[in-house]
Structure 1
Amino acid sequence: MKTPSALLLAGTLLVAGSAALLARVLLTPPPPPPVVEKPVEASKPTYPAVLVASRDLRPGDFIDASAVEWKASDNAYDERLYYTRGSEAASQLTGAGVRLPVAAGTPLTSALLVKPNEPGFIATVITPGMRAITVPTSQTASQYSMLTSGDRVDVVVNLQRENEQDTGIIQNGDLMKVLIRHTEGEASEQRQRMIRQVLGATSQSPVPRLAAQTLLQNVRVLSLNNRVRSPLQQRPEETEKSRKNPDAYPNPWAETVTLEVPPAYAERLALASQIGTLQLVLRSSQDIGDGLVRPGTGKVTTLAQTTSVYSASTPAKQSFDKAPSARVFHGDARNDVYFDDYK
């Protein structure tokens, strides 16, 4: 073989091998990229939304839907102190009173709000400058089942029979003891006749000293038996029993009533409750006027002005031909005492 032919064949084989190698390299897929494991991020915990003030709140304000809003929370709030979404306490806040100033956006707590019938709620209801005084009452005096917090009443004091002052009249039992002691030594028949005459002369049926007076007018009732309604009181849930009989749950009769009065009138009520019964006279809801508490007229109504039944039943004064007398002994001295007023 000639040298040029050998070189040509060798070159051809070299080119063919190179082409085959190049084709193999080009047709072979690239190796897959190395798998890099990324750390799994832990999911963030979710917390229930917390109730916050939607506007600035002041003491004396009451909670309604426009006063609060829900705010998403990034941390946990203690449900015993804060009001969180889904808690039972948050669903019962309508009508609650504000105790302290609250800025908008501040989470609400049980220390900032007080619900109706909780201790401290009446303090949020009292008008500035007024006072709350609790007085004892009875089923009749408190207008059983007709009176509720927010009503306006007049306060009337009735002087009780057991609080009557002594009229100064000698009771027959006491006078009998005196006569028996001072008529010793008289003949039995004469002694008995003298005692009967004197007792008949002094026997009287005085009209009981009963009286009534209106102390205050247009007084606002705050609570009955420490139960108070909020100005934003929710309507109670309707039940099967209440649908059948709307009057199935009347107001319980009150043993105590809390009234809103000026400071000076609180002193008057405190004294009046010690001498008699305080009657509450319900006023019309259309007769509130300017809402101010006013003193009574000062007029006192006595039993004699109310009825003449006692004066009609009082026996006529007994007349005597001779004035009744009693014989009084002081040692050996004897003295006859005559009751000249009954001649």
Structure 2
Amino acid sequence: MNPRSLILLAVALVGVVGVVFFTRSFLAGVQQNATQVQTVSAPAPTASILVAARDLPVGTILTNELVEWQPWPENGVNDAYFESGKKKLKDVEGKVVRAPITRGEPMTASAIVAQGERGFLAAVLTPGMRAVTVKLSPVASVGGFIFPGDRVDVILTHTIELSRTEKYTAAETVFQNVRVLAVDQRSAVQGEKIQVAKTATIEVTPKMAEKVAMLGKLGTLSLSLRSLTNDGTYAVASDPDSPPISLTTTHTLGHEVSRFLPAMNEDTATSTVRVSRGNNISTVETGRSLRGSSDAGGDGQ
């Protein structure tokens, strides 16, 4: 074989090897691109679970605005999570947070408690506060439009008996900005039907709890619903940290709402005191100012 033929044969062999190499490289690239396209077009399956929409401290009463649905890898869904299709928003509405939940953290059954379950009131109560229940009439409960989480003023309506023949009716605000913890046995709205409450559980200080026990003996208690906006005078009702106030700033006497009721002279109103000196017992009529006692502030507790 002459040298020219050898050179042509060598060139042909090199060409064949080059073609094979480039062909394999091209096919490998095509296969890799196809795999990537397939991976992008078929993402990992996800589920939708309920998470906290913001940081939720202990004692927070859950509402629809405080939670939200969020996509979650299906292989990372725990049985304790609230998964869409298996659970609904109403399953957590009205329940109370008993362990801190950070924003975006999945809601779990162990982190919340419902009314009637052990530890409910302990979870909803602010540290240092007390829960007391007051009896209400249909009118006293604002016709069923007071719900857990609302802020109210407590009004006492009672009869002032100065003597056997001198009696007057009065109403006075005894507590302001009190948080409602529960209404009857409900910690949230149940359905669309308005239910008139017979009792309300409110959050007060220890001293105010003692006063509530006395108020029930003096007369009838009513609740006055407060606005969620700040009126510039008292703490905003929607602020979870705004404390209740034990302070009587206003009162109304019977003659102010009905001209048929006698007016009481608040500056000269008297009371009778029995004085015992040995075996002698006498009664002494003393003067007192009801206006001064009614307008005076409380202990602030």
| TM-score (normalizing by structure 1) | 0.45
Tell whether 2:99 aligns with 1:64: no
Alpha-carbon distance in structure 2 between the residues aligned to 1:116 and 1:72: 32
Aligned to 2:9: none
Tell whether 2:147 aligns with 1:148: yes
Q: 1:292 aligns with which of 243, 260, 263?
A: 243
Aligned counterparts, 1:17-32, within 5 A: none
Q: For each residue in 1:35-70, what CA deviation from the matched residue of structure 2 results, as whole angstroms up to 9, or x when unmatched?
A: xxxxxxxxxxxxx98979899975345562379956
Alpha-carbon distance in structure 2 between the residues aligned to 1:218 and 1:90: 32
Alpha-carbon distance in structure 1 between the residues aligned to 2:186 and 2:217: 24
Residues 218/65 of structure 1: CA separation in 2 closer, same or farther (3 Å cut)? same
SS in 2 for 1:294: coil
Q: How many residues align?
A: 204
Cα pair 1:51 1:71 within 8 Å, conserved: no
Structure number with greater CO (CA < 8 Å, separation at least 6) is: 1
Aligned to 1:255: 198
Alpha-carbon distance in structure 1 between the residues aligned to 2:167 and 2:110: 54
Cα pair 1:207 1:304 within 8 Å, conserved: no
SS in 1 for 2:142: coil
Q: 1:88 aligns with which of 86, 94, 106?
A: 86
SS in 2 for 1:132: strand
Distance apart, 1:218 and its partner CA: 1.8
Aligned to 2:137: 138
Aligned counterparts, 1:177-256, within 5 A: 206-229=165-188, 249-256=192-199
Equivalent residue letter for 2:215 = A
Aligned identity (percent) is: 31
Distance apart, 1:209 and its partner CA: 4.1
Alpha-carbon distance in structure 2 between the residues aligned to 1:104 and 1:283: 29
Distance apart, 1:308 and its partner CA: 5.0
SS in 2 for 1:218: strand
Distance apart, 1:256 and its partner CA: 0.3
- Over aligned residue pairs, what C-alpha RMSD do you find? 4.5
Aligned to 1:172: none
Cα pair 2:50 2:82 within 8 Å, conserved: no
Q: For each residue in 1:129-163, what CA deviation from the matched residue of structure 2 results, as whole angstroms up to 9, or x when unmatched?
A: 33322110000111103323333222111125xxx
Residues 103/151 of structure 1: CA separation in 2 closer, same or farther (3 Å cut)? closer
Distance apart, 1:303 and its partner CA: 3.5
Cα pair 1:53 1:69 within 8 Å, conserved: no
Distance apart, 1:224 and its partner CA: 1.7
Alpha-carbon distance in structure 1 between the residues aligned to 2:148 and 2:89: 23
Q: Which has the larger radius of gyration?
A: 1
Aligned counterparts, 1:92-131, within 5 A: 92-95=90-93, 96-100=95-99, 110-115=109-114, 120-131=119-130
Residues 227/275 of structure 1: CA separation in 2 closer, same or farther (3 Å cut)? same
Alpha-carbon distance in structure 1 between the residues aligned to 2:105 and 2:228: 38
Alpha-carbon distance in structure 2 between the residues aligned to 1:215 and 1:130: 17
Cα pair 1:52 1:71 within 8 Å, conserved: no
Residues 50/148 of structure 1: CA separation in 2 closer, same or farther (3 Å cut)? closer
Residues 310/103 of structure 1: CA separation in 2 closer, same or farther (3 Å cut)? closer
Distance apart, 1:258 and its partner CA: 1.6
Alpha-carbon distance in structure 1 between the residues aligned to 2:226 and 2:56: 33
| TM-score (normalizing by structure 2) | 0.50
Cα pair 2:48 2:70 within 8 Å, conserved: no
Aligned to 2:223: 280
